[in-house]
Chains A and B, each alone.
Chain A
Amino acid sequence: MGIVLEVCNLVKKYNGNVAVDKISFDIEDGEIFSLLGPNGAGKTTTISILSTLLTPTEGSATIFGYSLTKQPMEVKKLIGVVPQEIALYDDLSALENLNFWGEMYGLTGKALKTRVSEVLEQIGLTDRAKDRVKTYSGGMKRRVNIGVGLLHKPRLLFMDEPTVGIDPQSRRAILDSVKALNTAGMTILYTTHYMEEAQELSDRVGIIDHGKLIALGTQAELTAQVGEMDTLILHVGENEDPEHLAQGLRTVQGVFQANPSDHEVALVTPSAEEVLAPVVSRANELGIKIHSVDIREPNLEAVFLHLTGRALRD
């Protein structure tokens, strides 16, 4: 397996603000690499640079050996991009959209017709191909959005949060299609702020926050950074103050971190079972009622929590 994408100290600044801060990573042929991070972490900016839409302020990147800045046309021919927003023409049908974008990627005639049929089959919209996109559900639009990125059979596919704002069923279908594409040999760079997606899909994960790549590796390598820590999630009522509870729990023996968010507090501890009783007791002392408790094994959420002190959704 060779390296298909190599990123070296990539920086992007907007009016003095650093959106991407010296990011370096590479992607091997045939793998699914996820960039995991909260909204505003710099995932979309990174994808925009790698898809030649933005010019990096500093640093370099090569795709299949071609320089992003010096050979952008060569790069464009080899990559496919599924943008976060649904970039389609609502007043055109799925068929017309696919025909248009196929031609933009140089497909014509019979090759275009055949490929559009294949993609329609692949995204399960052959029956609705002639309906205008504006009549589709959010999930169907997402599928067409992905289909456009696949038309020219790219060797490397960038997918920028392709499951945002859709129903669970459509999300499941998209995740399955990502796996199928990868099985068929396509290398994929996938960005998400859903830990579950990164866990399910990725061979390797890069965790990004405030424009910096703060961790990189396989899931096993990343969770090992947290050690044998458990994550204990305490759910509280709407009228309770999670910040107050978190503050009170930080002094409980065995609690390494206590991070409040909406109606819950996430605790990082070596043993969830051992700290549970004193935690509930302290909550009672503080007059805060705990509605329910989840115990999670070490996962990417815990890694992010461990590294940043914040939950991914913050």
Chain B
Amino acid sequence: MNLRKFFLIALKDLRLILRDPTGLVFMLLAPFALTLGMGALTGRFSGSPQFGISQIPVVIVNQDSGELGQVLVDVFTSEELNELVLVDLRSDPTEARTLVDQDKTAAAIIVPEGFSASIFSAESATAVVPIEFYENPTRQTSTGIARSILESFLNEVEISRVSSKLIVGQLLASGAIQPEQAAALGAVVGREVATNTSRNASVRLISGTAESSNIKFDVLAYMAPGMAMLFLMYTITLGGRSLLVEARAGTLARMLISPTNAGFILGGKGFGIFLTAVTQLVIVIGGTSLLFRLQWGDWLGVALLILAAAFGASGWGILMAAVLKTPGQVAITGSAIALLFGILGGSFFDISMLPGWVRSLSMLTPNSWANEGFRILSMGGRLGAIQTHLTVLVVMGVALYGVGTVMLSRRGLMAK
């Protein structure tokens, strides 16, 4: 019965926020309007997309004596990518990693000796010599883009490797070739398919035209998550504020008088904030998908990231309600925090342009992790690429809910 009341309280809060005109403006109208406006400003709707990220510094060390290492370099230095990525070719892997450690570049890609050979001869994907991607943790957006380009290249290579195995297998089965000819033929076929596919497909992948690729780099895909998270924080503020409003209006006391465990009441309030946050993200993401044909990427990843982002962000709502005294204080402080988190979290511009200490600070915001995660997904990244983001957001939520609950109890809002 208490669990039923837990959901009852949460749904009631969601209903109240959806009936609040101010809440609706912040939840729905503002994110759409700002995304639309910024998209128009950056030329998304005029066919000349330009966005806030350019000249991402990437160091490539190509130690591979085969063709594929050079193909990778060609992809990164291609005309289509020359505005997005600034490639610095080096020969020493240690030097490349040092440049990353010193924050002089976003990422280092080290192609080891034997990479091409391992692709053409490996029996399985695990036998392939791996490419090292050494990333700068304070430039999440930039490294996410570089990683995305690299992953799309590797995907094509893997497809080619498997294709060549199939072709050789079929030739062997049909008796067209002898077993002793298989290895040499496999290498030739694989090399041909891989180089052609990689040159063409990988370059097309980055070009941003819907017809030629399944992965696009869309200016709105960069901006929409930022706007969604910015206004999510405003919504969270409304949720946190509602706890103090209820305490003032006497409805919280009335709930506590009813035969309901106090923990379930606080839990229901917290879940209400989370539910509101999830609803907002779903509507904004669904809406931009339909209205702007925005590709948010892997839907499982997007769904999990929505839940994690809403959880991490709503923890801040509970903390605000626990720390601040009045609904007015929550409204003012919450707006300031939403704006600050928006700036630090990269809602307005690429945070990799900011000093290192600001980038470190940004990692405390749910915006930073969620924005980055959504951008990785929208650029073709899969669930595995956002595992860290999901984990950080969930841990953030657990910590903030925990601290907030203890503080609320100590403050006497829920306890007697």
Chain A residues at the B interface, C-beta cutoff of 8 Å: 48, 51-55, 73, 76-77, 79, 81, 83, 85-89, 91-92, 96, 100-101, 103-106, 108, 148
Contacts and interface: CB of A to CB of B under 8 A. Distances in A.
Interface stretch (B4-12, B88-96, B131-139, B305-313): B4-12
Given A55-B416, A85-B249, A91-B20, A100 B12 contact: yes
B256 interface: yes
Nearest to A74: B259
A91 B19 CA distance: 7
A104 B253 contact: no
A105 B250 contact: no
A87 B258 contact: no
Given A83-B250, A87-B250, A92-B15, A54 B416 contact: yes
B212 interface: no
A101 B258 contact: yes
B254 A101 contact: yes
A81 B257 contact: yes
30 contacts: A51-B257, A54-B416, A55-B416, A76-B257, A76-B258, A77-B259, A81-B257, A83-B250, A83-B253, A85-B249, A85-B250, A86-B250, A87-B250, A87-B253, A89-B12, A89-B16, A91-B16, A92-B12, A92-B15, A92-B16, A100-B8, A100-B12, A101-B258, A103-B4, A103-B5, A103-B8, A104-B5, A104-B258, A105-B258, A108-B4
A1 B416 CA distance: 33
Interface in B217-273: 249-251, 253-260
B176 interface: no
B295 to A, nearest CB: 37
Given A92-B19, A104-B8, 9 more contacts: A52-B416, A76-B259, A83-B250, A83-B253, A87-B254, A88-B249, A89-B16, A92-B12, A92-B16
Contact of B259 (A73, A92, A148): A73
Contacts of A87: 249-251, 253-254
Contacts of B251: 87-89
Which of A54, A91, A92, A104 is packed against the most chain B CB atoms within 10 Å?
A: A104
A96 B257 CA distance: 19
Interface of B: 1, 4-5, 8, 12, 15-16, 19-20, 249-251, 253-260, 416
A48 B1 CA distance: 24
Contacts of B253: 48, 53, 83, 87
B238 to A, nearest CB: 13
A55 B415 CA distance: 9
Contacts, number: 61
Which 3 pairs of residues, A with B, have the shortest CB-CB distance?
A87-B250, A76-B259, A85-B250
B257 A53 contact: yes
Nearest to A51: B257
Nearest to A56: B416
A54 B416 CA distance: 5
Contacts of A51: 257
Given A73-B259, A76-B259, A91-B20, A81 B416 contact: no
A108 B254 CA distance: 19
Contacts of A96: 15
Contacts of A148: 254
A145 to B, nearest CB: 9
Nearest to B249: A87
Contacts of B5: 103-104
A106 B259 contact: yes
Nearest to A69: B416
A105 B2 CA distance: 10
A46 to B, nearest CB: 14
A76 B416 CA distance: 15
B14 to A, nearest CB: 12
A115 B193 CA distance: 74
Nearest to B16: A91
A248 B258 CA distance: 54
Contacts of A89: 12, 16, 251
Contacts of A76: 257-259
A162 B259 CA distance: 22
A79 B258 CA distance: 9
A101 B249 CA distance: 15
Residue among A48, A77, A89 facing the most chain B CB atoms (10 A cut-off): A89
Contacts of B250: 83, 85-87
Contacts of B16: 89, 91-92
Nearest to B254: A87
Contacts of A86: 250
Nearest to A103: B8
A136 B270 CA distance: 30
A92 B11 CA distance: 12
Contacts of A53: 253, 256-257, 416
Nearest to B416: A55
Nearest to A75: B259
A83 B416 contact: no
Nearest to B15: A92
A52 B257 contact: yes
Interface centre among B250, B258, B260 (most CB of A within 10 A): B258
A24 B82 CA distance: 85
A55 B15 CA distance: 33
A104 to B, nearest CB: 4
A87 B4 CA distance: 21
A54 B260 CA distance: 15
Contacts of B257: 51-53, 76, 79, 81
Which of B1, B15, B253, B254 has the most C-beta atoms of chain A within 10 angstroms of its own C-beta?
B254
B131 to A, nearest CB: 57
A53 B251 CA distance: 12
A108 B249 CA distance: 25
Given A86-B250, A91-B19, A104 B256 contact: no
